[in-house]
Structure 1
Amino acid sequence: MPVDVRTEIVIARPRETVAAYAGDPSNAPEWYANILDIEWETRPPLHEGSRIGFVARFLGRTLRYTYEVVELAPGERLVMRTAQGPFPMETTYTWESVDEDHTRMVLRNRGEPSGFAKAGARVLRAAMARANRHDLRRLKDLLETGRP
């Protein structure tokens, strides 16, 4: 059973500001509750082919995985994929100007769980949706209060 979770939020900041901050993996531990650390495996700045290692805590487990950037349209779209582990995942960020001071950000996670993860796909999907809503609210709070 595939997992496909799409979450969106409107942030009262210009698209360029939101995309620059959210699209920089170095900032992920600041706004993703479950991401503990990242490590660049390729040299920044972000580009197609960039590889970034993540350490996350999710559903009581510590996970280590590497994303590769497969598509990058600066300020508009970022697509990253991981192929290793029991749950290959694709994460997509899109940014759209609502007006000059507001941005709609969409966070989409999708993948095809296998093994043990496949049996818990429904629970996994619900947990991801909750986590994504929380993370986007945290991002909104950080950006709207001017704290990065």
Structure 2
Amino acid sequence: MAAVDVRVERVIRAPVDEVAAYAADPTTAPEWYATIESVVWRTDPPVAVGSEMEFVARFLGRRIAYTYRVEELEPGERLVMSTAQGPFPMRTEYTWSAAPGGTLMTLRNTGEPSGFASVAAPVMEAAMRRATTKDLARLASLLEARA
């Protein structure tokens, strides 16, 4: 079991294909993730297995830069990315499925912090859960406003 394992889900009142296309596009991340300040492609878009993007985020008062690599992609169903470079190994998984009233989106982050971060893992996990819950609410609000 990872030292950090945060899984949050929410039903978004929009079709699966719209939710998946928007959420799986890294360029939209700063619009719905409160912590992400910028995303720069290291490989050419669109998202595909092997794609890499540099993210800059602000989390727990610190600026964090990391590179995500796409490990798995099933368009409209699942996207898995992991850090190729950054402060600690992290894996992010999005899944989308049809649900009454729209799309059930699940966002799961797992990781193994090391050094000082490992001591702070319980605090980090709680902060990530709060932030991720707010991020999915923001994503829902953006996509539901378009419907």
TM-score, with structure 1 as normaliser: 0.95
Partner secondary structure for residue 45 of structure 1? coil
**Structure 2 alignment gaps of length 5 or more:** none
**Structure-2 residue corresponding to 1:32:** 33
Distance 1:132 1:30 in 2: 13
Distance 2:92 2:65 in 1: 15
Q: How does 1:1-148 map to 2 (within 5 A)?
A: 2-99=3-100, 102-146=102-146
Report the CA distance shift for 1:85/1:26 in structure 2 as closer, same or farther (over 3 A).
closer
**Structure 1 alignment gaps of length 5 or more:** none
Q: CA deviation at 1:53?
A: 0.3
Q: Is the 8 A contact 1:56 1:64 kept in 2?
A: yes
Distance 2:33 2:102 in 1: 21
- After TM superposition, the runs of 4+ consecutive aligned structure 1 residues lying more than 2 A away are 83-86
Q: Is the 8 A contact 2:43 2:53 kept in 1?
A: yes
Q: CA deviation at 1:84?
A: 3.0
Report the RMSD for the aligned CA atoms in angstroms.
1.2
Distance 1:67 1:30 in 2: 18
Distance 2:82 2:9 in 1: 20
Q: Is the 8 A contact 2:69 2:84 kept in 1?
A: no
Distance 2:99 2:142 in 1: 19
Q: CA deviation at 1:85?
A: 3.4
Deviations 1:23-45 (A, max 9, x none): 10000000000000000000000
Partner secondary structure for residue 21 of structure 1? helix
Partner secondary structure for residue 6 of structure 2? strand
Deviations 1:45-72 (A, max 9, x none): 0000000000000000000000000000
Aligned-residue identity in percent: 60
